[in-house]
Structure 1
Amino acid sequence: MKRFVFGLALLAFFSTQTQAGNLDRTRFYAECERSKTLPKSLFKGDRRAGINRILDYWEKTGYTDQRWLAYILGTAYRESVGTMAPVREGLCKTDNCSIEAVGKHFRGKHISSDYSKPDAQGRSYFGRGLVQITHKRKYESVGKTLGWGDALVEKPELALDPDKSVVILVEGMAQGLFTGRSLADSFKGEKADWVGARKIVNPGSRRAEITAGHGKDFYACLNSSSI
């Protein structure tokens, strides 16, 4: 009986630590600005607006695990190279620049295929967004799953739209649309695999611990700012 009661108490405690209540954003940003590893500039101006856009969408989804949100923010931070805004692959300003960047990686044998080659309609499927989706088939499958029909594969530049990029980021990771692995595979109940969670986006990553660190940093902010 004592073990049963202790188990319930432990479960209740764990739930309060992982389930996101209403987020006090003033406290959230105050906690983040105290971080010794996240730059203070991340929480000002356009970058702060980018974080708010993610938080706005998150609050509409019904997802509740703070670790999910923390890892999403950590992923966006890494994939956008700290801008918290959708970017082209190679941090390029033009499509041609991204196409050349991917081609260079292919010629250097860093990737197995040049997925940036334009199709018959001149559309290229290099990485775009808050999380870099690549390959035509992925643009097509993600777009259809999100209810956009063929819009994303017909206009891949939509992945650079600020609002759509947030939906792709959050739902892609929550539903496992990128690699088949989802946030629930790494964060569920008492399980918290911060390093392994990188497989949700990039199974072959050799520096998964970097994103794990970012996620943990954001989790520290979130854990102190829910009401």
Structure 2
Amino acid sequence: MNRTTFFAYVRRAPFGGRLTQLQIDGMNAILDEWDRRGLLDKRWLAYMLATSLHETGSRMQPIKELGGDKYLSKYDTGKLAKALGNTPQADGDGQKFAGRGLVQITGRSNYRKFGIEARPEEALKMPTAVSILFDGMLEGKFTGRRLYDFFNQKTDDPENARRIVNGTDKSKLIAGYHKNFLDALEAATEAVPVPDAKPEDAQPDDVPASQSKSLWTILVTLFPGLGGLAFLQNIDNVFALGAFGLVLLAVSVAAWLVFTGRITINRGKAAT
């Protein structure tokens, strides 16, 4: 796989034009494990990447479930605690076995299932988190459903594949991410490198969006006159100026939505 092409493609979608070093590191860890295991169906890999993106809030790093002791106490007693394998007493195991990982496992039973009941913090370490991601989705350890159930010789069902982890919660959103990652993986395995994937497009830019070269490059490409705003001298009436202001506001809002990750830009293969 040409990882330069892969990162150049995912930079645009689903990451909205910017990549951090931590995001790249997380994806590399997943790609390395994929290669190590010798797996072949790119749809499986794309769905694992899409799931990790959603479960980590785009960080691509193992995370712990947000919330203080009071919030996590919902796992400590009652029916939910019992379902998760926690004790019925208010002894803190709800907090101890809170969600962690690239796919957040929750509850004593799930930590036991992956062999880390005695050391739940291990789920925040990348090698363990990646192993849990693969074993859970390949072997059905999360819900009993596996990648093979939804991606095989007869079936291609990225929406229902969400059942591997969590029912149908956000299934359409994650299916969209799956399409983004699959486009990138297919482009990255082309015999000839695609023409629109440049080495610099695969590099991280760990700076605020306002300082991002990719942001300004896209804006100036779309609206060349923004470079010096010299075109303003040609606007000679208040109505035209008002119309321009509305257009500029719309462009600004659209740029803000893209570069804060609230919307993504789908990207297909370049024409050859």
TM over 0.5: yes
2:71 maps to 101
Aligned pair in 2 of structure 1 residues 103, 223: CA closer, same or farther (>3 Å)? same
Write out per-residue CA displacement over residues 56-77 of structure 1, whole angstroms, 9 at most, x where no aligned residue.
1111012111000000000000
1:224 maps to 187
Paired with 2:156 and 2:79, the residues of 1 have a C-alpha distance of 32
1:113 aligned onto 2:80: yes
Partner AA of 2:40 in structure 1: T
Partner AA of 2:63 in structure 1: V
Residues 70-219 of structure 1 aligned to structure 2 (within 5 Å): 70-90=46-66, 97=68, 99-103=69-73, 113-114=80-81, 124-143=96-115, 152-203=116-167, 205-219=168-182
- Aligned partner of residue 51 in structure 2, secondary structure: helix
Aligned pair in 2 of structure 1 residues 213, 61: CA closer, same or farther (>3 Å)? same
Paired with 2:74 and 2:6, the residues of 1 have a C-alpha distance of 41
Q: Structure 1: which 5+ runs fail to align?
A: 1-22, 144-151
Out of 56, 60, 83, the position equivalent to 2:32 is: 56
Q: Residue 33 of structure 1 contacts residue 39 of structure 1 at CA under 8 Å; is this kept in 2?
A: yes
Structure having the higher Rg:
2
2:4 maps to 26
Q: Residue 106 of structure 1 contacts residue 112 of structure 1 at CA under 8 Å; is this kept in 2?
A: no
% identical equivalent positions: 34
User: TM-score if structure 2 supplies the norm length?
Assistant: 0.62
Write out per-residue CA displacement over residues 1-51 of structure 1, whole angstroms, 9 at most, x where no aligned residue.
xxxxxxxxxxxxxxxxxxxxxx1101111222343x43232x331111111
Q: Residue 42 of structure 2 contacts residue 185 of structure 2 at CA under 8 Å; is this kept in 1?
A: yes
Q: Residue 51 of structure 2 contacts residue 103 of structure 2 at CA under 8 Å; is this kept in 1?
A: yes
Aligned pair in 2 of structure 1 residues 44, 26: CA closer, same or farther (>3 Å)? same
Cα deviation, residue 104, structure 1: 5.8
Aligned pair in 2 of structure 1 residues 106, 217: CA closer, same or farther (>3 Å)? farther
Q: Residue 27 of structure 1 contacts residue 224 of structure 1 at CA under 8 Å; is this kept in 2?
A: yes
Out of 7, 12, 16, the position equivalent to 1:39 is: 16
Cα deviation, residue 106, structure 1: 9.0
Paired with 1:132 and 1:76, the residues of 2 have a C-alpha distance of 9
Cα deviation, residue 220, structure 1: 0.9
